[in-house]
Amino acid sequence: MFLKSSALFAATLLGAKSAFAKILDAGSLPEGKLSLYTVANRERLAVTYRNSLGEYCQDALQALNWLLRCHITNETTEMDLRVLEYVNRLDNTLGGGNEIHVISGYRSPSYNRNLRNHSHGVAKNSFHMKGMAIDLAFPGIPLEKVRRAALALAAGGVGFYPREGFVHVDAGHFRAWHG
């Protein structure tokens, strides 16, 4: 199971969508499930976006794109599968089935520009604008534990923002910082 899950994640990181399912035998993979709550919009979504054969559900991905939209402009983007898989693996590492609180998903360029003008530490070319980043918290799980779990996965960027109450994860190269 671990090897199949690792192969699934590696294939996703390499950009494969569902073709990797043919590489693996037809045994079962862990389903890709997320339960999200957006703090700004107060919306919830519990969805299975990938089945045990590694096939993605387009309706579920569209629902995730809408839920993770820019909460200021309502603009959407296609969220990067690598960041969704990263969040899924992080959830599973932390016990699975958690309702994950999303502080920020996609950010429109205008909203990102506004954030840059009013706060420090907001990247000009933020991964949020590319649908490659999510700021999140797991209620009931200390942020430091979430940060350590994300670092252990080493699947992308990990920013730690304890004062703001979230951990940033993204589908970029592995790096870590404290905000």
Within 10 A of 113 (CB to CB), how many other CB atoms are there? Answer: 14
pLDDT in tens, 78-133: 999 999 999 999 999 999 999 999 999 999 999 998 888 888 778 888 999 999 99
Interval 43-56 mean pLDDT: 96
Provide the mean pLDDT of the chain: 87
pLDDT higher than threshold 60 for residue 21: no
> How many independent structural domains does the chain possess?
1
State the pLDDT at residue 80. 98
State the pLDDT at residue 119. 80
Strand order through the sheet with 175-178: 43-50, 32-38, 99-104, 133-137, 166-170, 157-161, 175-178
Burial class of residue 171 (count of CB atoms within 10 Å of its CB; 0-12, 13-18, 19+): buried
Instruction: Please check whether residue 105 is in contact with residue 166, taking contact to mean a CB–CB distance below 8 angstroms.
Output: no
CA 122 to chain CA centroid, nearest Å: 18
State the pLDDT at residue 29. 72
pLDDT higher than threshold 70 for residue 13: no
Q: Which residues contact 71 (CB under 8 A, 6 or more apart)?
A: 38, 40, 41, 104
pLDDT higher than threshold 60 for residue 22: no
CATH classification at residue 8: 3.30.1380.10
Q: Which two structure tokens, joined as six digits, stand for 127?
A: 């991964």
Domain limits for position 35: 2-178
Interval 65-86 mean pLDDT: 97
> Helices (DSSP H) in the chain: which residue ranges?
2-13, 20-23, 58-67, 81-93, 109-118, 143-153
State the pLDDT at residue 20. 37
State the pLDDT at residue 96. 96
pLDDT higher than threshold 60 for residue 26: no
pLDDT in tens, 138-151: 999 999 999 999 99
Instruction: Please check whether residue 34 is in contact with residue 87, taking contact to mean a CB–CB distance below 8 angstroms.
Output: yes
79 sits in which H/E element: none
Q: Strand, helix or coil at 75? A: coil
- Direct distance between the N- and C-terminal alpha carbons of the chain, in angstroms, rounded to an integer: 36
State the pLDDT at residue 143. 98
